[in-house]
Structure 1
Amino acid sequence: MAPTARQHQEELQFRLILAATYPFFLAAAVFGRMAPGRAPARPGLPAPHRSVFGEARAMAVQAIPFAFMG
Structure 2
Amino acid sequence: MAPTARQHQEALQFKLILAATYPFFLAAAAVARITHGREPARAGLPAQHRSVFGEARAMAVQAIPFAFMG
Q: Which structure 1 residue ranges, 5 or more long, are not aligned? A: none
The offset of 1:40, in angstroms, is 2.3
Task: Supply the distance in 2 between the matched residues of 1:46 and 1:5 (Cα, whole angstroms).
Answer: 40
Partner of 2:63: 63
| Letter of the structure 2 residue corresponding to residue 5 of structure 1 | A
Between the aligned partners of 2:66 and 2:57, the Cα distance in structure 1 is: 15
Q: Which runs of 5+ in 2 are unaligned?
A: none
- Structure 1: 4+ residue segments shifted above 3 A: 36-39, 43-47
CA distance in 2, matches of 1:3, 1:37: 44
Matches within 5 A, 1:35-46: 35-36=35-36, 39-40=39-40, 42=42
Alpha-carbon RMSD: 2.0
Equivalent pairs, count:
70
Letter in 1 for 2:69: M
Aligned counterparts, 1:1-70, within 5 A: 1-36=1-36, 39-40=39-40, 42=42, 47-70=47-70
SS of alignment partner, residue 49 of structure 2: coil
Q: Distance in 2 between matches of 1:45 and 1:7?
A: 34
TM-score (norm 1): 0.87
Distance in 1, matches of 2:46 and 2:2, equals: 47
Output the TM-score relative to the length of structure 2: 0.87
